[in-house]
């Protein structure tokens, strides 16, 4: 592969590597400048230019590298999505929602889900008939032995 073609394709990784080297070099030069003197007034410019600028370069390199990694993940997901769409386009028919011919001999065809009817008053759509709630029977498993739930026993008032 040609070097310029590679650099154009991986510009974000190349930029991250350049920024990382630049950040490490800046930190090293800042450290050498600070270690050469004992006076804080002479150390301050090296700490500002070497330390802060070096950390900025290293942080930018990290962000750029993570951006490149995310771009690779999106490319993989796009290729998986394209292959799934291609596979689904080959095996399904748009005009028939239930395809008994495409199913294997032992599996029943799957019906299309019922969609809710639009409401007449402009609020939320009405529920389908199958999703309506039903009333429950009251359970008697929690009642005590031999007494009714309305009676009170014992000497406590």
Residue-wise pLDDT tens digits, 127-154:
555 545 555 555 555 555 555 555 555 5
Q: What is the mean pLDDT of the chain?
A: 75
In order, the DSSP letters of 54-117 are: HHHHHHHHHHHHHHHHHHHHHHHHHHHHHHHHHHHHHH--SS-SS-TTTS-TTSPPPPPPPPPP
The C-alpha atoms of residue 3 and residue 6 are separated, in whole angstroms, by 5
Q: Which of 16-25, 80-89, 115-124 has the lowest mean pLDDT?
A: 115-124
pTM over 0.75: no
Domain ranges of the chain: 3-91
The distance of Cα 86 from the centroid of its chain, to the nearest Å, equals 24
């Amino acid at each position: 592969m040609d070097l310029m073609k590679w650099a154009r394709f991986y510009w974000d990784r190349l930029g991250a590597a350049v920024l990382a080297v630049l950040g490490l070099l800046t930190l090293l030069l800042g450290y050498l400048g600070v270690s050469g003197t004992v006076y804080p007034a002479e150390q301050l410019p090296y700490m500002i230019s070497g330390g802060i600028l070096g950390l900025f370069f290293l942080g930018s390199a990290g962000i750029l590298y993570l951006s490149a990694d995310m771009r690779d993940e999106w490319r993989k997901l796009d290729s998986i999505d394209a292959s799934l769409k291609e596979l689904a386009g080959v095996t399904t028919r748009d005009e028939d929602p239930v395809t008994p011919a495409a199913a294997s001999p032992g599996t029943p065809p799957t019906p299309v889900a019922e969609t809710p009817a639009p409401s007449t008053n402009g609020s939320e759509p009405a529920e389908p008939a199958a999703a309506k709630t039903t009333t429950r029977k009251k359970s008697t498993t929690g009642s005590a032995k031999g007494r009714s739930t309305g009676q009170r026993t014992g000497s406590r008032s």
